[in-house]
Each structure stands twice: as C-alpha cells, then as structure tokens.
Amino acid sequence: MNSLPEMVSRFADVRILVIGDVIVDHFVWGTVSRISPEAPVPVVNVTREELLLGGSANVLRNIVSLGGSGALCGIIGDDAMGEELVRLMTELPAPVDGLIRGRRPTTVKTRVVAQGQQVVRFDREETGPPSRTPLARMIGYLEQHLHEFDAVIVSDYSKGVVNEQLMIRLHRLLAEIRRDGRRLPLVVDPKPANLHRFIGATVITPNHHEAIRMSGMEIHDEQSLLAAARQIRDDIECEAVLITRGEAGMALLQGDSLVTIPTMAKEVYDVTGAGDTVAATLALGLAAGCAVVDAASLANHAAGIVVGKVGTASATREELLAALA
C-alpha cells in the first residue's frame, strides 16, 4: 500500500483535462484610511493590481502547482482580457488549443481588497449557453483529445459553458473510452441547478450550501448529512459524494458509509478558490491510483493550505508534502 506522500510523487505522471467556465480574476489591492465624504463607503488607495487565472482556469493552475499537468477546454472572448488569459496560460505553462474564442466577452471578476479584507466585488460577464460555432469547436476538441488524459474535471460556475449538449457528448465519449478498459475518472464541481447533467460522475464535490439545495434537505447533524449525501448520490448515480464543509472539514459518502474528515486549516483568511483546489487535488489523486478516501484526504490537506492565503490561491506540491508530514 502506497503512502499519501508517495501518491503525491505520482502527480507528475498524470494529465488532467479541465472543462468549464473560464474566468479572469482581477485583484485591486490597497489601503483604507478614511471614509468618503460623498457616501458612507471606504476610500481605497490602490497600491497594486493583479490578474490571475480564475474559474476552471484556476483548477488547472492548481493542478500544475501540485506537480501535475493538463489542459483547459473552455470559451473566452475575442477581447483584451481574453488575450491576458492566454498569456497567463502560456506562463503557467499550459497548452491553449482548448480555449475557444466566442463573441461574448471574457468573464472578469474584480475584487477590491484592503487591509487583507475584500471591500467589494464586481463582475463583467454574459451568461447563457454558447453559440453554435464555439460549442461545436469545444466538442471537436473533446473528440480529438479526450483519450490523451487520465482524469476529467468539470468546473461549473453557471456561466453557461457546461450545457446540456456538451455534457451529453462528454458522457458518450467517456463511455467509449471506458469500454476499452480505461477508468478515466470524472470529478464534478457542480452548481445545484445543473445537477441532472452530471449523472454517472465518479465524484461530485458540492459545498455545504450546494448540498442542501441539491438534496432538498436541511443539514444540521451527521444523520441529516448522511441522508443528504445519499439523496445526491441516488439522484445522479455517482460513485461518491464529497461535501466540503468549511471549518467543519469534509464528508465523503462512498458505498453505505459516511467518512468525516476534519479540516486541516490552521487559520482561514480567504475561501476564494478552495473548491477549485479540492477538485484539482481529488482528480490528481484518483488519476494517480488513490482510493477515493485517500484522494479526499489529500484534497482536504491542500484546501487547508489555500484558505490560509488571501486571494485566488493555489497549493504547491512542496506545501502539500509538508502538510502531510
């Protein structure tokens, strides 16, 4: 039996495909020393700005940071922020042939942070299913390249890329590959409204509030947590459900048993992107040959690292190995 550090060393041998909503995270950092005379709001003196990979692109960023490799399949705008995202991808480095340019603008989330606290966030986006040509090009990319990967992550931010037609085609392609004897795990970071699209996933990773909406049940103790996880599993016929619960850690349903995993976070500064880290680490673990419970333990350690950082953060391979030690 391999130890968890030994499994982390195998991350270098696997490739993960991330499919989903691509976002640019724009951070405006500054300080506050006074309240505006025009309105009861803080005046932020801007000291620096930063553009980071966000959404499904941040999932890939975590994969690379943890020592793995992969590619991203999603849609960006034919605009300046789309160019910035391509530049960030090539610096990662990661291939950009799965990034399809569409007519609508690249999604940008801008967060203003002062004294380590988020003051305000504003989004620039157009949501809804992609138009016919970008969607056809995404499906064409999957048909040509899906067999090259060891696991797949679907990262749904409800912007419209993870749509019915795309998921139907993905499930069919996965079935064809699995008929040849390859497992090719599918990890889904879902949104409740789209649950039916993820039938047959290997592991689904809702947070506490998403699990309540997906199951239609209130979660207030371990018994109700187990009931909600079973309802989600039965609804989409997945192998396992991993519910992330913030300071309460995680809960994994596999088979008939619920395993609760206490949080590894020493301090929580910012939960931005923690779900991306969980999905990335979980998929890396499964692709490297981990049992689901061991992959979930690795994901829990990695999430404990990123919530101790401010901003859209990622965990490194060295940080994960140190946490395991």
Provide the strand spans (E) within the chain.
15-20, 22-35, 42-55, 69-77, 99-102, 107-114, 117-124, 151-155, 186-189, 203-204, 240-244, 250-254, 257-261
- Chain center to CA of 265: 18
Q: 84 exposed, middle or buried (CB, 10 Å; 0-12, 13-18, 19+)? A: middle
**Residue 49 exposure: Cα atoms within 13 Å on the Cβ side:** 10
Residue in the structure block whose two tokens are 């409204």: 193
Cα–Cα distance, 272 to 298 (Å, whole number) = 19
Residue 145, helix vs strand vs coil: helix
Cα–Cα distance, 192 to 46 (Å, whole number) = 37
In 3D space, the residue among 55, 92, 93, 47 whose CA is nearest the CA of residue 76 turns out to be: 55
276 is catalytic: yes
In 3D space, the residue among 76, 79, 64 whose CA is nearest the CA of residue 15 turns out to be: 64
- Close Cβ partners of 95 (under 8 Å, ≥ 6 residues apart): 71, 89
- Choose the catalytic residue: 25, 270, 276, 294: 276
Encoding tokens for residue 68? 């793995």
> What are the strands of the beta sheet with 117-124, ordered from one edge?
42-55, 22-35, 107-114, 117-124
Element (H, E) at 229: helix 222-236
Identify residue 317 by its one-letter amino acid code: R
Q: Which residues are catalytic?
A: 276
